[in-house]
Structure 1
Amino acid sequence: MKVLKNPATLIGIAAVAGIAFGLLVGEWAGNLQFIGTMFIRLIQMSIVPLVMASVIVATGSMSGAGMGKMAARTFAWMLGFSAVAAVLAYALSVAIQPGRGMVYTGELDPSLQKSAAASTGWQDTLLSFVSTNIFNAMSTASMIPIIVFSLLFGVALNQYIATSGNRLVLDVADQIQQVVLLMIRFVMYLAPIGVFCLLADLAGDVGFAVVTTALAYLGTTLAGVLILLVIMVAVVWARTGLNPARLPKHLAEQTAIAVTTTSSAVTFPTVLRNTVEKVGVSQRVANFTLAVGLTMGSYGAVLNYMIVVMFLAQAGNVSLTPGQIVLGMGLAILLNMGTITVPGGFPVIAMFLATSLGLPFHAVGLLIAVDWFTGMIRTFLNVNGDTFVAMLVGKATGEVDADVYYGRKSVTADQIDLDAYEGQFAKADAAD
Structure 2
Amino acid sequence: MKALSNPALQIGLGAVGGLAFGLIVGDWAAELKFVGDIFIRLIQMSIVPLVMASVIVATGSMAGAGTGKVALRTFQWMLGFSVVAAVLAWVLSVLVRPGAGMVFDGELDSGLRDSADQALGWQDTLLNFVSTNVFQAMSTATMVPIIVFSLLFGIALREQISRTGDTSVLTFIDQIQQIVLTMIRLVMKLAPIGVFCLLAALAGDVGFAVVTTSLKYLGTTLLGVLILFALFVVVVTVRTRLDPRKLPGKLAEQTTIAVTTTSSAVTFPTVLKNTVEKVGVSQQIANFTLSIGLTMGSYGAVLNYMIVVMFLAQAGGVELSIGQIALGMGLAILLNMGTITVPGGFPVVAMFLAASLDLPVEAVGLLIAVDWFAGIFRTFLNVNGDTFVAVLVADADDEIDREVYNGTKTVTAEEIDLDEYSDTLARADRAE
**TM-score (structure 1 length as normaliser):** 0.99
In the TM superposition, residue 65 of structure 1 has moved relative to its aligned partner by: 5.1
1:192 aligns with 2:192: yes
Which stretch has the larger CA shift, 328-337 or 27-36? 27-36
User: Could you list the per-position Cα deviations for residues 47-106 of structure 1 after superposition, in whole angstroms to 9, with x for gaps in the alignment?
Assistant: 000000000000000122521111000000000000000000000000001110111212
2:238 paired residue number: 238
Contact 1:236 / 1:388 at 8 angstroms: preserved in 2? yes
In the TM superposition, residue 429 of structure 1 has moved relative to its aligned partner by: 1.9
CA pair 143-115 structure 1, distance change in 2 beyond 3 A: farther
2:270 paired residue number: 270
| Separation of aligned partners in 2, 1:246 and 1:402 | 12
User: Could you list the per-position Cα deviations for residues 198-219 of structure 1 after superposition, in whole angstroms to 9, with x for gaps in the alignment?
Assistant: 0011111111100000000000
1:76 paired residue number: 76
In the TM superposition, residue 115 of structure 1 has moved relative to its aligned partner by: 5.2
2:383 paired residue number: 383
Identity of aligned residues (%): 73
1:24 paired residue number: 24
1:357 paired residue number: 357
2:334 paired residue number: 334
Q: Which runs of 4+ in 1 moved over 3 A?
A: none
| Separation of aligned partners in 1, 2:178 and 2:111 | 26
Contact 2:282 / 2:399 at 8 angstroms: preserved in 1? yes
Contact 1:103 / 1:206 at 8 angstroms: preserved in 2? no
1:105 aligns with 2:70: no
**TM-score (structure 2 length as normaliser):** 0.99
In the TM superposition, residue 378 of structure 1 has moved relative to its aligned partner by: 0.3
Residues 166-205 of structure 1 aligned to structure 2 (within 5 Å): 166-205=166-205
Residues 37-48 of structure 1 aligned to structure 2 (within 5 Å): 37-48=37-48
Which secondary structure state, in structure 1, belongs to the residue aligned with residue 229 of structure 2?
helix
User: Could you list the per-position Cα deviations for residues 215-242 of structure 1 after superposition, in whole angstroms to 9, with x for gaps in the alignment?
Assistant: 0000000000000001111111111110
Matched residue pairs, number? 432
2:155 paired residue number: 155
Aligned residue type for 1:114: D
| Separation of aligned partners in 2, 1:181 and 1:431 | 12
Aligned residue type for 1:88: L
| Separation of aligned partners in 2, 1:265 and 1:118 | 42
| Separation of aligned partners in 2, 1:340 and 1:427 | 12
Contact 1:338 / 1:427 at 8 angstroms: preserved in 2? no
Aligned residue type for 1:373: F
Which secondary structure state, in structure 1, belongs to the residue aligned with residue 66 of structure 2?
coil
User: Could you list the per-position Cα deviations for residues 169-219 of structure 1 after superposition, in whole angstroms to 9, with x for gaps in the alignment?
Assistant: 100110000000000011001001100110011111111100000000000
User: Could you list the per-position Cα deviations for residues 16-59 of structure 1 after superposition, in whole angstroms to 9, with x for gaps in the alignment?
Assistant: 11111111111111111111100000000000000000000000
Which secondary structure state, in structure 2, belongs to the residue aligned with residue 138 of structure 1?
helix
| Separation of aligned partners in 1, 2:192 and 2:117 | 33
Residues 113-124 of structure 1 aligned to structure 2 (within 5 Å): 113-114=113-114, 116-124=116-124
Contact 1:99 / 1:312 at 8 angstroms: preserved in 2? yes
Which stretch has the larger CA shift, 265-274 or 409-418? 409-418
In the TM superposition, residue 119 of structure 1 has moved relative to its aligned partner by: 4.2
Aligned residue type for 2:278: K
| Separation of aligned partners in 2, 1:94 and 1:33 | 29
Aligned residue type for 1:132: T
1:412 aligns with 2:412: yes
1:90 paired residue number: 90
Contact 2:90 / 2:310 at 8 angstroms: preserved in 1? yes
Which secondary structure state, in structure 1, belongs to the residue aligned with residue 117 of structure 2?
coil
Which secondary structure state, in structure 2, belongs to the residue aligned with residue 279 of structure 1?
coil
Aligned residue type for 1:241: R
Contact 1:318 / 1:359 at 8 angstroms: preserved in 2? yes
Structure 2 gap segments, 5+ residues each? none
| Separation of aligned partners in 2, 1:405 and 1:139 | 55
| Separation of aligned partners in 1, 2:386 and 2:95 | 28
| Separation of aligned partners in 2, 1:116 and 1:256 | 44
Contact 1:299 / 1:382 at 8 angstroms: preserved in 2? yes
Which secondary structure state, in structure 2, belongs to the residue aligned with residue 106 of structure 1?
coil
2:216 paired residue number: 216
Structure 1 gap segments, 5+ residues each? none
1:423 aligns with 2:427: no
User: Could you list the per-position Cα deviations for residues 335-372 of structure 1 after superposition, in whole angstroms to 9, with x for gaps in the alignment?
Assistant: 00011011101000000000100000100000000000
